[in-house]
Structure 1
């Protein structure tokens, strides 16, 4: 059966079709907001690189505090109500950003409070979303289903930043966040309409039993022959990505001289690359195996950041040359993620029992997001003390370590 026919068969499952639509709409709004928040912090609030790092880290701080507990709780709850409640909650929080701006009360501390609340809801929403998908499609279709979701998200990633950059230029960064708020509201409505039979949750247990349940999930991940190296490699990857993401926005908007629309354009090219990668992910994963595909994705991404580290400023080389170099790098960056992510997600969902899905996902995500907190702070400090380009070289070196972990482990040879 061809990849197109497999994807079409998955979309014929009504529950998955609504889930896919909700994820696509939510992803579109998210990529608009990525541009809006970065421009808001760098230009509207005139933050230093260290302050950019603090703002980037604060929304992921809840993962350090509550991430593992969230996984244990999600495994005791029906996942659909969690998804609906967190979607509407995030909508309301995002609405406070333009409200604070209109009333003249928007500041870095106020934005940090909003993003911390947003991150707290994201812990439960993301853990439930990744654990919900295996209840909507057969396990043999998880690779195709994840690839389909990634394809639509990369379409959103392609168009969202360009539209976000245009909206920021037209109405300002605070008002552009409204798009994401509305997207979360629409996502909550769609998920609420999904018809799915979920098993009756376990009874609420005493605190000690909850902690034992959380520990069971941690042991499952880090004692597993292939999930353990996947987890460690991903943790290192998120550290490098956080360092580079923190540095990239001020580096692109200041030394490289890109305007908000151009910044949105180069981010959109990552979406184009991601779409190509996600489209090929199923075919590549089935041909060379999940492990080799994951390794391929992790090996390509440092190459992309070498290009960014060597990119010339637009005032010396010209805007076209700068956009070409940075855009090509983002294209390769997106391709590597598009190829890797469906294979990684499909494999780890397939080898995890349903009763452990929430704890497995929360364990990985909480440590990953803890690395984001550390990486954002490190990235900002490196940029302030050493400069933007040295910070980028250090970050891409961390990506190399992530690839080495996969290459040196049994994960490299697994198949779906």
Structure 2
């Protein structure tokens, strides 16, 4: 069976691709909006990111229980439409000059609450649409769409922001979420998963036990939590670093960030092959190692003023972004495919919510910390600390049992 023969997956893929484009457009436009329209700094960008991910700390584990009890399709539709409404409010309030940093953080918290349920349902819905032996390929297709959006979304966002401004660019994302919700609603699918029995507390414990007592998922989860902490430090300062320290304009920032998407496209196309030849664990280890030189290139990039030309600084930053995206493109489908393969359908929501909620909790700490370090000690200091942290994660992953993980029936059944 080919993935293209599954109409439900094809529509899910289309909805996901539409949402991906909106997300990557907004990722840049909101940061430019804070810096240019609200006169904020790196710390403000960090607080905005933290407010988006803060709900994961409070509601993340409970969301997994609710997703395992709910019709995942309807959760996806409602959360897409809700996020589109919030994006429209942000764009319109800024357009009319009434948006303030406090209100932006409140709306991003609402966005984060909807995203908790959307993300848990999204990751748990794929195993209901395709058989187990097609999960890695299905996730590779989704990763490729995300990578294309990541490569073209920032460049498109940079052009849109320079042309029509950040508020109208945010409104484009609102429309993208609405379209994604419509595609999700068109999926013809009947749920075959029975709602788990027991209290919410009991079910939360079941999800935690599954993740943190599993010999491979435990290593993967703990290492990924640390990885997200240092990754979020980078995300909080990268756009402001490029605008302020390197002297890029909005369109150049967009093109520089787009290089990560190009790398992710290349990585996701090779992901399945690399996983088959090296094994899932070793392929993911390779990716964790590759993040280190990728971010190092960005941290040492020269400014436009020092070269009197943007060509070489752009080349250095885009090279680092490409390698970073390539590593994510290789790792993403393999990680998700492995998690979905070894986890029973009845635990998918809780497994995904457990890992995702703790990962996002790391952003709540790492993003504002990265911004504060950048504002106090400089952008390069913050990025250098992130490089050291990613190096620590790479060494840890190499020494962990996850390096030996394989999508092998004997290994999976023996867990």
TM-score over 0.5 for the alignment? yes
Aligned partner of 1:153 in structure 2 is 146
RMSD: 1.2
1:214 to 204, 217, 236: 204
Could you list the structure 1 runs, at least 4 aligned residues long, displaced by more than 6 angstroms after superposition: none
1:49 corresponds in structure 2 to 42
Choose from 388, 391, 394 the match for 1:397: 388
* Cα distance in 2 between the residues matched to 1:357 and 1:248: 33
Alignment-derived partner of residue 333 in structure 1: 324
1:14 equivalent to 2:4? Answer: no
Q: Which blocks of at least 5 consecutive residues in structure 2 are unaligned?
A: 408-415
Structure 1 distance, partners of 2:39, 2:4, is 45
Answer yes or no: is the 8 Å Cα contact 1:298–1:403 preserved in 2: yes
The equivalent of 2:365 in structure 1 is 374
Q: Look up the match of 1:293.
A: 283
Using the TM superposition, give the Cα deviation of residue 203 of structure 1 relative to its aligned residue in structure 2, in angstroms.
Answer: 7.8
Does the CA-based 8 Å contact 2:228-2:360 persist in structure 1? yes
Is 1:38 the counterpart of 2:28? The answer is no
Distance 1:160 1:383 in 2: 26
CA distance in 1, matches of 2:201, 2:217: 21
Alignment deviations for residues 206-253 of structure 1 (CA, whole Å, 9 cap, x no partner): xxx111101110011000000000001111111011001111111110
- 1:60-83 Cα offsets, whole Å, 9 max, x none, are 000001000000111111101100
Deviations 1:339-371 (A, max 9, x none): 001000000100000000000000000000000
Residue aligned with 1:75, SS: helix
Instruction: Return the alpha-carbon distance in structure 2 between the equivalents of residues 203 and 265 of structure 1.
Output: 47
* Structure 1 counterpart of 2:274: 284
Give 3-state SS (helix, strand or coil) of 2:248's partner: coil
Q: How does 1:84-99 map to 2 (within 5 A)?
A: 84-99=77-92
Q: 1:3: which partner in 2?
A: none
Instruction: Give the superposition deviation at 1:202.
Output: 2.7
Aligned partner (choices 78, 85, 99) of residue 106 of structure 1: 99
Contact 1:78 1:199 (C-alpha < 8 Å) held by counterparts: no
Q: Is the 8 A contact 2:195 2:346 kept in 1?
A: no
Deviates more, 1:73-82 or 1:98-107: 98-107
- Aligned partner of 1:227 in structure 2 is 217
* Counterpart-to-counterpart distance in 2, 1:143 and 1:357: 15
Q: Distance in 1 between matches of 2:219 and 2:39?
A: 40
Match of 2:52 among 39, 45, 59: 59
Aligned equivalents of 1:287 and 1:145: distance in 2?
Answer: 19
Q: Which residue of 2 aligns with 1:80?
A: 73
* Structure 1 unaligned spans of 5+: 1-5
* 2:346 matches 1:355: yes
> How many residues are treated as equivalent by the alignment?
406
TM superposition shift of 1:136: 0.2
Secondary structure at the counterpart of residue 60 of structure 1: helix
How far has the Cα of 1:201 moved from its partner? 4.9
* Native 8 Å contact 2:196 2:346 kept in 1: no
Partners of 1:201 and 1:170 in 2: CA distance: 50
- Cα offset for 1:45? 1.1
Displacement of 1:384 after TM fit? 1.8
Pick the aligned partner of 1:311 from 301, 315, 318.
301
**3-state SS of the aligned residue for 1:282?**
helix
| Displacement after TM superposition at 1:293 (Å) | 0.9
1:198 counterpart residue number: 191
TM-score of the superposition, structure 2-length normalised? 0.96
| Counterpart secondary structure, 2:69 | coil
Decide whether the 8 Å contact of 1:232 with 1:405 is kept in 2: no
Distance 2:191 2:299 in 1: 48
Name the counterpart of 1:242: 232
- Is the 1:236–1:401 contact (alpha carbons within 8 Å) kept by the matching residues of 2? no
CA distance in 1, matches of 2:355, 2:392: 18
Compute the displacement of 1:48 (Å): 2.2
Contact 1:233 1:402 in 2 (8 A): yes
Task: Tell me what 2:413 maps to.
Answer: none
CA distance in 1, matches of 2:358, 2:218: 12
